Structure 1
Amino acid sequence: MRRRKGVTNQLAQQLDTISKPSKKKINYHEAATEFLKHCRIKGLSSETIKFYQKELKQTVRAFVEIDAPIIDVRKLNTSHIEKFIEYLQDLGRAVNTINARLRAGRTFFNFCLRKGYINANPYDDVQQLRKRHEVGATFTKRQLKRLLDAPDTTSFIGLRDLAVMLTLAHTGIRLTELTSLRVQDVSFEGKGEINVQRAKNRYGRRIPLTARLRTVLRAYIEERGVLDHDSLFINVENHSLSGRSIQDRLRQYGVVTGVGKEVKVSPHAFRRTFCRLKVEAGTNIFVLQRLTGHQSLEILRRYVEIYSKDLEAAIEKGFEGL
């Protein structure tokens, strides 16, 4: 069968256009604006877009300090990125901070490469900085009990705060997932469950309720009443409770109970504690992954390595009677 030369030539021209970088000079700010527009069109979460906005803004400030050619992104090369890393290290920035900037920069320049703004990604030959694989601080059971016993449940605020902390403690849910919960996401049928719709990895998940969480959430929702919106956690003005407000409330309970002097009281500390307690209880790592919504098992493996009781049990085997 004879090929249609017209179509073939047209396709070849299109591919040639895509593969060739644009001759038009484009600066860092223009390219970043296009990239963020692309992120919004692609439907990335607001948190992800904010992450890119923040990291790209901090990156360009550093580029200015090291005299990188931001007026033409085609002129940025690997040596500029290496100077950028050294600059951040001299400022004493944490490894996690530097790696976050590198991830954002690599993604941004991959976009520039696809758009034809640059000939090559200057981040391609740059590796992430090595870091110690550690698990952040967690609460002991006593510390957790002190926090959960602190709210005055005779008041609406106290009952709400207990419901918030107990949800964090008994589900391991993320702060953004917590603030996005709606009343209809909580079900009391059977043993009850929470349906997390706005997950970080975009995959919703179901988390069964513990007996205590079921009781407290039912009492809170009855006290919350019927409003003209369906946000689960609200303030005294009946508006949705923000993540910042929750962080502030948790810090206050850390001060009141004294736990804050021992461990930083934050939503993520509750999440880490949930993982730790589940691992110590022998929960299967794949079940724990489904409960927490971790996309990778890498982080959960760290909890297993540190907190699993299997090592203590295994070390005694084979030495009975010796």
Structure 2
Amino acid sequence: MRTTLNLNEIVAQWLSECDILPSTARDYERKLALWFRWLSAAGVDTRSPERRHVVEYKQYLQREGRSLLTVNSLVTVVKLFYGFCERRGYCDNIAAGIRSSRRRSGYSKLPLTAEQARRLLESIDTTIVIGRRDRLMLSLMLFNGLRTCEVERIDLGDFAEREGEPVLAVQRKGRTEKNEIVVLHPDTVERLAEYVADRPWNASAPLFISHKPGCDNRLVRQTIGRIVKQRLACIGLSHPKLSAHSLRHTFGALMVEQGVDIETVKDMMGHSDTRTTRIYVEMAQQRKLLHHSPSRAVGNLILSDLNRTDD
């Protein structure tokens, strides 16, 4: 680095100039810390890495079995940081031209079937507070398609009634305000009452918290994702394409299967464009072809004609 500033100061300067949400800034800082940690472990001076080290870091992440999305995300943060450093004259952009990994076709996450979703909810022991928390959390993701970041942001004061209907104010991904509402299923309302029954009321307090002794911190999205993965594993659903986001995909795919029009699905999912929503139409069509494949009807028709000829 051609500056007397230390790395923490440079990172803070970079983040302060990024036009991003505070949560995104924290995510960038965390991902950049992984890069510096890898450099240290590899015996490389964190102030003077070379281009080959970025390539080696990318290859290391791939060998670790990180998803293509994760690898691209981690490397992109490194590229953004060194692009800033070059503009400031601190160092050359050692990550310039490093290509993102090519994503294979297909969906990154799979939805659950309605039967799998039911088994998932029924597997949770709600006689304990952690079970009541997780049952409510998974219900919101399955019945309302909430993302993990949207679940993380829920406060006790976000619940209300509108025209006699129970609703939740949601801060969507990339938004700064809770300016959308979702209508709650009666089962969710019941689970909410059970979970918060023994909690002191504070409108700005987080809904989902850690229940470890002496700890009532807000659950962050990484923890929420880990909880969902653990709950899925408990019913025998362990697959790289099954995660917390699968619950959101489940909501979208099942809406399409129930005949909900695409504009309504778009609004329910919080999408700004129906092109994004098309994924759920494709998921529903693939499932329809899987269980009601026209090839069976064609095969039966051919075989029936063959049997008549044999007669």
Instruction: Give TM-score, length-normalised by structure 1.
Output: 0.67
Could you tell which deviates more after superposition, 133-142 or 283-292?
A: 283-292
Structure 1 unaligned spans of 5+: 1-23, 316-322
1:97 aligned to which of 39, 53, 70: 70
Query: CA shift at 1:106, angstroms?
Result: 1.8
Structure 1 stretch displaced more, 141-150 or 49-58: 49-58
Match of 1:211 among 182, 185, 198: 185
Q: Which sections of structure 2, spanning at least 5 residues, go unmatched?
A: 295-311
In the TM superposition, residue 169 of structure 1 has moved relative to its aligned partner by: 0.9
User: Which of 171, 185, 195 is 2:169 aligned to?
Assistant: 195
1:106 to 79, 85, 94: 79
- Secondary structure at the aligned position of 1:188 is classed as strand
Change (3 A) 1:252 1:104: closer
Match of 2:300 in 1: none
Q: Residues 139-177 of structure 1: CA distance to partner in whole angstroms, max 9, x if unpaired?
A: 211111112233455665554433222111111112232
Task: Evaluate the alpha carbon distance shift between residue 310 and residue 90 of structure 1 in structure 2; reply closer, same or farther with a 3 A threshold.
Answer: closer
Q: Do structure 1's residue 130 and structure 2's residue 99 form an aligned pair? A: no
SS at match of 1:125: coil
**Corresponding residue of 1:34:** 10
Farther-moved stretch of structure 1 (168-177 vs 64-73): 64-73
CA distance in 1, matches of 2:119, 2:194: 20
2:299 match = none
Aligned positions of 1:1-322 closer than 5 A? 25-26=2-3, 30-31=6-7, 33-39=9-15, 44-45=20-21, 47-60=23-36, 71-72=47-48, 76=50, 81-82=54-55, 84-86=57-59, 88-89=61-62, 94-118=67-91, 121-135=93-107, 136-153=109-126, 157-190=130-163, 191-197=165-171, 199-202=173-176, 204-213=178-187, 215-216=189-190, 219-220=193-194, 223-224=197-198, 226-228=200-202, 230-234=205-209, 239-240=216-217, 242-243=219-220, 246=224, 250=228, 253-254=231-232, 258-260=235-237, 266-285=243-262, 287-294=264-271, 300-308=277-285
SS of residue matched to 1:106: helix
Q: Distance in 2 between matches of 1:35 and 1:97?
A: 21
| Aligned residue number for residue 12 of structure 1 | none
Question: Residue 255 and residue 218 in structure 1: after superposition, are their counterparts in 2 closer, same or farther (change >3 A)?
Answer: closer
Aligned length: 287
Matches of 1:300 and 1:208, distance apart in 2:
17
Percent identity over paired residues? 22
What is the CA–CA distance in structure 1 between the aligned matches of 2:80 and 2:105, rounded to whole Å?
24
Greater Cα radius of gyration, structure 1 or 2 = 1
